[in-house]
């Protein structure tokens, strides 16, 4: 039977470690602080940001939720970022995406002080990550590494195949795997004979954003499957393609009219050695790693 890599338990362990670090810093008069900027009213973003603020409260971090209206201009957002860069009680700045179309998101992310870039999106942090120097790594890729290490999945010497080349997940997770001495192949939409490459993977990371894209025929039996995808199935046809006969998912679909699925066809999990489920796999690690990054930023900024 494959091992199920449950993200919630690993995230809980990381949060406990963060809480202990926060207590230790408090004894030195330091309280890490996170500023979360949420523009307008996007229900999914509101839920996500408030869960981050709640996590700060639970772990003893200071948090400041800032909610500009969706009419805010790029110039006004730049002024806000400059204020947050200057505040000593703020160690991490999180700008929740997506932003309204008229706001230049890229310029804002670049305007965040790299020392406070807890999302790890700034080019300076991307360059430090590439060079193997101390950096704030993007939360989801960092969470993937934590899942592997804490589940005692060997990384060094393994062939890791990453399907997806985004700046947020694909590229940074490839770099982090490389730094753990894996042999890494990055695949994407232009890769020729993709199944021939994915079948070589000891560790397969799927981050391409397409529901059930990785099929059982595309994996090596016994491989570790890390599913970063989060897609929603809204039609009966889509649902039946992946979950027909699954009573638990059927009940969820009947109740909510949709279910979530990753980038890996669930049937592939049956022949794997270990896998992260969707939901409940990589997802819970993202907020835990954001908390860890905020504490790390607080320590790095103060030379601790």
| 121 belongs to a structural domain | no
Burial of residue 57, with CB atoms counted within 10 A of its CB: 0-12 exposed, 13-18 middle, 19 or more buried: exposed
Same domain, yes or no, for 189 and 51?
Answer: no
Same domain, yes or no, for 101 and 157?
Answer: no
| 264 belongs to a structural domain | yes
Same domain, yes or no, for 99 and 163?
Answer: no
| 14 belongs to a structural domain | no
Number of domains present in the structure of the chain: 2
Q: Which two tokens stand for residue 268?
A: 């592939």
**3-state class of 275 per DSSP?**
strand
Same domain, yes or no, for 37 and 157?
Answer: no
Whether residue 279 has a cis bond before it, omega within 30° of 0: yes
Same domain, yes or no, for 109 and 146?
Answer: no
Contacting residues for 241 by C-beta, under 8 A, at least 6 apart? 212
What are the tens digits of pLDDT across the range 161-188?
999 999 999 999 999 999 999 999 999 9
Same domain, yes or no, for 152 and 260?
Answer: yes
303: left (phi over 0), alpha (psi -120 to 50) or beta: left
Digitized pLDDT (tens) for each residue of the chain, 304 residues in all: 999 999 999 999 999 999 999 999 999 999 999 999 999 888 888 888 899 999 999 999 999 999 999 999 999 999 999 999 999 999 999 999 889 999 999 999 999 999 999 999 999 999 999 999 989 999 999 999 999 999 999 999 999 999 999 999 999 999 999 999 999 999 998 999 999 999 999 999 999 999 999 999 999 999 999 999 999 999 999 999 999 989 999 899 989 889 999 999 999 999 999 999 999 999 999 999 999 999 999 999 998 8
Catalytic residue among 91, 113, 117, 119: 119
CATH code for position 222: 3.40.50.720
CB atoms within 10 A of CB 178: 15
Longest dimension (CA), the chain: 58
Same domain, yes or no, for 158 and 278?
Answer: yes
| 133 belongs to a structural domain | no
8 A C-beta contact, residue 238 and residue 219: no
Q: What is the DSSP letter of 187?
A: E
The residue count of the chain comes to: 304
pLDDT of residue 74: 97
Active site residue 119: yes
CATH code for position 93: 3.40.50.10860
pLDDT of residue 78: 97
| 134 belongs to a structural domain | no
Cα Rg of the chain (Å, integer): 20
Same domain, yes or no, for 278 and 154?
Answer: yes
Question: End-to-end alpha-carbon separation of the chain, Å?
Answer: 44
CB atoms within 10 A of CB 209: 14
Catalytic residue among 91, 96, 116, 220: 96
Among 113, 128, 154, residue at a domain's last position = 113
| 206 belongs to a structural domain | yes
Catalytic residue among 52, 116, 171, 220: 52
Same domain, yes or no, for 152 and 276?
Answer: yes
Range of the domain at 159: 139-285
245: left (phi over 0), alpha (psi -120 to 50) or beta: left
Active site residue 52: yes
| 295 belongs to a structural domain | no
Distance CA 261, CA 243 (A): 10
Same domain, yes or no, for 97 and 144?
Answer: no
Same domain, yes or no, for 149 and 276?
Answer: yes
Percent of residues, the chain, with pLDDT higher than 90: 90
Contacting residues for 215 by C-beta, under 8 A, at least 6 apart? 265, 267, 268
Nearest Cα to Cα of residue 95 among 87, 86, 111 = 111
| 76 belongs to a structural domain | yes
8 A C-beta contact, residue 235 and residue 285: no
**3-state class of 206 per DSSP?**
strand
Active site residue 16: no
Same domain, yes or no, for 148 and 188?
Answer: yes
């Amino acid at each position: 039977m494959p091992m199920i890599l449950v993200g919630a338990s690993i995230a809980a362990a990381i949060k406990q470690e963060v809480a202990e670090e926060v207590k230790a810093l408090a004894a030195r008069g330091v309280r890490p602080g996170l500023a979360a900027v949420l523009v307008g009213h996007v229900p999914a973003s509101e839920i996500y940001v408030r869960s981050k603020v709640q996590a700060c409260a639970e772990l003893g971090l200071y948090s400041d939720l800032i909610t500009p209206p969706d009419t805010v201009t790029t110039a006004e957002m730049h002024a806000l970022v400059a204020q947050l860069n200057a505040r000593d009680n703020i160690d991490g700045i999180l700008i929740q995406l997506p932003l309204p179309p008229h706001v230049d998101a890229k310029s804002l992310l670049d305007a965040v002080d790299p020392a406070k870039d807890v999302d790890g999106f700034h080019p300076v942090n991307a360059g430090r990550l590439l060079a193997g120097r101390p950096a704030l790594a993007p939360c989801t890729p960092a969470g993937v590494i934590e899942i592997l290490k804490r589940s005692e999945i060997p990384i060094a010497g393994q062939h890791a195949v990453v399907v997806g080349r985004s700046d947020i997940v694909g590229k940074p997770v490839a770099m982090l795997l490389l730094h753990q001495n894996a042999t890494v192949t990055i695949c994407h939409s232009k890769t020729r004979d993709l199944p021939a490459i994915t079948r070589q993977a000891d560790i397969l990371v799927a981050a391409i954003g397409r529901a059930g894209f990785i099929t059982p025929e595309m994996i090596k039996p016994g491989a570790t499957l890390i599913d970063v995808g989060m897609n929603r199935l809204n039609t009966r046809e889509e649902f039946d393609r992946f979950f027909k006969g699954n009573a638990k998912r059927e009940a969820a679909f009947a109740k909510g009219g949709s279910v979530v699925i990753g980038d890996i066809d669930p049937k592939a999990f049956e022949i794997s050695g270990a896998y992260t489920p969707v939901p409940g796999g990589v997802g819970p690690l993202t907020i835990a790693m954001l908390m860890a990054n905020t504490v790390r930023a607080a320590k790095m900024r103060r030379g601790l």
